[in-house]
Chains A and B, each alone.
Chain A
Amino acid sequence: MTNSTNTEASQAITQLFEDRTLLAKKRAVARKRRNRSEQRFRWAGRLSIAFGIACVLFLFTDIISKGIGAFTQTYVDVEITFNQETLGLSSQSTEQEIKAASFSSFYKKALREKYPEITGRKEKRELYAMFTSDMPLILRNMVVADPSIMGSTQIISMIADDDFDTYYKHSYGRDLDEADKISRLSDMQEGLVDSLAKSGAVKTKFNTILFTNSDSREPELAGIKGAVVGSILTLLVTLALSFPIAVATAIYLEEFAPTNRITDFIEVNINNLAAVPSVIFGLLGLAIFINFFGMPRSVPLLGGFVLTLMTLPTIIISSRAAIKAVPPSIREAALGMGASKVQTVIHHVLPLAMPGMLTGTIIGMSQALGETAPLLMIGMVAFIVDVPTGITDSATVLPVQIFLWSDSPERAFVEKTSAAIMVLLTFLICMNSFAVWLRKRLERRW
């Protein structure tokens, strides 16, 4: 009896013990599982962030590696004698005479004389194609600027054609496989590049053409000046319209608006406009501004109008937040001193809310600077060579220029496009850093 109870008891104890170890084991397993899932979750978060940052880095390195080459340009020093007989000019020739002279044939003849061994028709054409097709024009302008060079021999820094330029910068003198070699030059042309480079005539310099020229069909002559000026003019119109209108709207809605249906309606409209796709604003510009009001196409004024409507909600929303952040005690103090409502707002609330408003405005402007789609609709995609001089001149803007160049088949334009993107991103980064600095500098905590 006692024996059996003993055994039973000991069995029960063992059982209990086993149960407890089992339970502890189960719990340990469960804890491990839970810890693992905790770790997995954290790693998922870390990986997401790493993915985002990797995207940023990849995007920037990709653009920079593609575009860095466009900041240098290949030039070739060639001695050219301004032959008085060939051109039929002397150092006393008037400007009109110079402009009438055939520099094109003179230039070709000069090149042929440099390379008398090149005789075939095709080879000759290839020789001319080594340099930019604008060379005769450049030579003419030199003579116009200083007619006394007639008859003398000058060392001309000739602009290399884009194929030459690309080949020289990326493939020449490098140990590359045939597949990696970027070259659209013929063997004869590559031989010429080689002999020119060995004689020390080929130089790469900082590409000032990119910043001093406007758009061109020739990649080596294409620059962003016109687009940058167009962007600045468009942004000025946008700023001049959107900042006052947005601030006035924010003041009305925060300080003066009665709570009624009209106010509600305005607020709903602003919130919805903030999320309307930008291409719709282009349709608006096309249908209302161009077809209804008959405004001219592709001018910065019109671009500014459309971008104003697009950026207004952004600036209004941040301006309202800035006004809301001004404590009521300021208003009460001003009103208590006998200021009118308008005086209170203009003299006290507005200056205190200004940093927030300016930050919002800069962010809105950087949005407008990068915007492309609505400007395509209102015809700012035209090929424009002249730098716009006013807000009613035809113009294009930097993002649209990027869009246009990215469509061009020449490889050199890929480089130019990336360079233009780098310039655009530099502008944007400067604007946004300025906004952040302004916020940090002027922000007040109450």
Chain B
Amino acid sequence: MNLSTLLLIILAGSAVAYFIGYTRSQQIAKPIGGVRHLATLPTYYASMMTLWALIPALLLVFFWSVLDGAIIDSLVKSSLPQEAKRLSEENLGLIMSQVSNVASGIGSIDVLGQEYAPAVERLVSLTAISQRAMPLLAFCVLVLGALMGFRAVRATNNARYTVEKIFNVAIFVCSSIAIFTTFGIVFSVLFESIHFFQKVPFFDFLLGTHWSPQIAIRADQAGASGSFGVIPLIVGTLLISMIALSIAVPVGLMSAIYLSEYATSKTRSIVKPMLEILAGVPTVVYGFFAALTVAPAIRHYGDQLRVWGADNDITWLANLAVSSESALATGMVMGVMIIPFVSSLSDDVINAVPQSLRDGSYALGATQSETIKKVVFPAALPGIVGGVLLAASRAIGETMIVVMAAGLAANLTVNPLEAVTTVTVQIVTLLVGDQEFDSAKTLAAFALGLFLFVITLALNVIALKVVKKYREQYD
């Protein structure tokens, strides 16, 4: 049975439980003189019964879905032939996936060998049992839970306490998901990174200047041992982020200043949403725009400049070479994407500067721009720095624009007209498509992920601290 239908059936079942609970509590109330003689309102009895029905069934479905794969796996492993059990972890995994392929009808048993037939049969039968047993068991648990709930519908039983207790537990569990997510991220990238650093020394990774993660498929293949020096990626990332910030920060900051200090409220109400459109455009659209419009345009103008330079004997212009995946194009488009981010953050901090400071400055005869430059801007500086740091962390972590418009080859260069690659591009290219999970190539992506996570986290923590400290000053 489909998981979605099962969930729908469980939901429908608990809705039925709600109505039964409601009518039952009214039935109980009738002989004792109405609802007010019950310990609590009928809706609470009904909700209690729903929860009794819903929660155990949902828990069963959840744990069953999580655990059945592992349990079936271990049972199937036990019916593998003797020589297969002595295999190493990796080879065993390979055999298991072949077994499951044969079980699902891909390939024939002859490839594996007849001695694996019992394992395949076992897998087929166990999967069938699991698929049939789960809905049945879930339904039984649902009915049983509802019955337990039904028994608890009594005039003296205050169902509200139960319901509120469950509510309190539920909202606490929900809010701890944030913690679990963080732990999940940390552990997933940390464990795989530790595996990676067992294969590649930590300092080779951090200080190496050569990145080419191709690893030979056969051991005797030449020239493909893979090297994992992260420096070219860092330089590439920083180069693109710097170009992005050098566009986004001045433009974003100046438009925030103009909108909050000069513009009339009518202009602001039109212009601000227009700028915010830029923030709502998906990054894949920016990537398409960068790769198909901006990068070719920059290359075109670069070529024209080169021709012009050659005609006028300007040597450095005549030698100009613009890559079709130039860091400049990528950085510029990313800068446009970050403009609204910088502008809305700066807008907040500029508006938080008290009016009295401006009034004092005007009273001394300063013009509006002098007031902004010499009073408002210094007062808002910590907040603006915080905003710029957040923007930088966003630029470093941005993925789709660079995946679509930046290069794949890791060049160690600071020339914005050449193609560079970034940390996020490498994570995506290493992990998209088919992959073996234990190769250094795949694990390298997790090491890069850890690196990215640490950098952006540090930037965010610093930025939030700076902003917070500054807010306290004026509040």
Contacts and interface: CB of A to CB of B under 8 A. Distances in A.
A63 to B, nearest CB: 7
| Ranked 5 nearest A-B pairs via Cβ | A277-B397, A45-B258, A370-B282, A287-B188, A248-B174
B202 to A, nearest CB: 19
Interface of A: 34-35, 37-38, 40-42, 44-49, 51-53, 55-56, 59, 62-63, 66, 244-245, 248-249, 251-253, 256-257, 265-266, 269-273, 275-284, 286-288, 291, 293-294, 301, 309, 312-313, 316, 340-342, 366, 369-373, 376-377, 381, 390-392, 399-400, 402-403, 406, 414, 417-418, 421, 424-425, 428-429, 432
A406 B170 contact: no
B287 A277 contact: no
B461 interface: yes
Nearest to A277: B397
A272 B257 CA distance: 28
A353 to B, nearest CB: 14
A350 to B, nearest CB: 12
A291 to B, nearest CB: 7
Contact of B397 (A35, A63, A272, A279): A279
A372 B428 CA distance: 11
Interface stretch (B81-89, B124-132, B270-278, B349-357): B270-278
Given A66-B292, A406-B284, 10 more contacts: A34-B367, A48-B254, A49-B258, A52-B339, A256-B168, A269-B178, A287-B189, A376-B428, A377-B432, A424-B285
With most chain B CB atoms within 10 A of its CB, the pick from A257, A272, A418, A425 is A272
14 contacts: A42-B262, A49-B255, A52-B275, A52-B336, A56-B277, A257-B175, A271-B460, A286-B431, A293-B66, A372-B282, A391-B4, A403-B287, A406-B291, A428-B281
B403 interface: yes
Determine the main DSSP class of A at the interface with B: helix
A276 B427 CA distance: 15
A292 to B, nearest CB: 8
B282 A428 contact: yes
Contact of A45 (B255, B278, B460): B255
Interface residues of B, number: 93
A425 B457 contact: no
A366 B403 contact: no
Given A49-B271, A287-B446, A373-B399, A403 B188 contact: no
B293 interface: yes
B275 A49 contact: yes
A426 to B, nearest CB: 12
A279 B253 CA distance: 28
A265 B179 contact: yes
A409 B4 CA distance: 38
B404 interface: yes
A244 B177 CA distance: 12
Given A49-B271, A312-B178, A340-B164, A34 B170 contact: no
Contacts of B453: 276-277, 280
B172 interface: yes
B452 A280 contact: yes
Given A272-B182, A425-B285, A38 B280 contact: no
Contacts of B393: 275, 277
Contact of B177 (A38, A245, A301): A245
A437 to B, nearest CB: 13
A252 B288 contact: no
A2 B172 CA distance: 100
Interface string B182-206: 1011011101100000000000000
Contacts of A266: 175-176, 178-179
A414 B287 contact: no
A275 B404 contact: no
A392 B457 CA distance: 34
A340 B275 contact: no
B449 interface: yes
A294 B70 contact: yes
A34 B251 contact: no
B91 interface: no
A252 B390 CA distance: 28
Contacts of A424: 282, 285
A316 B178 CA distance: 10
Contacts of B461: 272
B61 to A, nearest CB: 13
Given A41-B372, A272-B461, A392 B285 contact: no
Given A265-B179, A277-B452, A288 B278 contact: no
Given A277-B398, A406-B292, A340 B160 contact: yes
B424 interface: yes
A400 B428 CA distance: 13
Nearest to B431: A377
B362 interface: no
Contacts of A38: 367-370
B257 A45 contact: yes
Interface string B286-309: 011101110000000000000000
A273 B262 contact: no
A403 B400 contact: yes
Contacts of A381: 432-433
B208 interface: no
Contacts of A52: 251, 255, 274-275, 278, 336, 339-340, 343
A342 B164 contact: yes
Contacts of B64: none
Given A249-B175, A392-B4, A283 B427 contact: yes
B171 A273 contact: no
A406 B445 CA distance: 24
B11 to A, nearest CB: 11
B432 A342 contact: no
Given A287-B192, A372-B284, A277 B368 contact: no
B94 interface: no
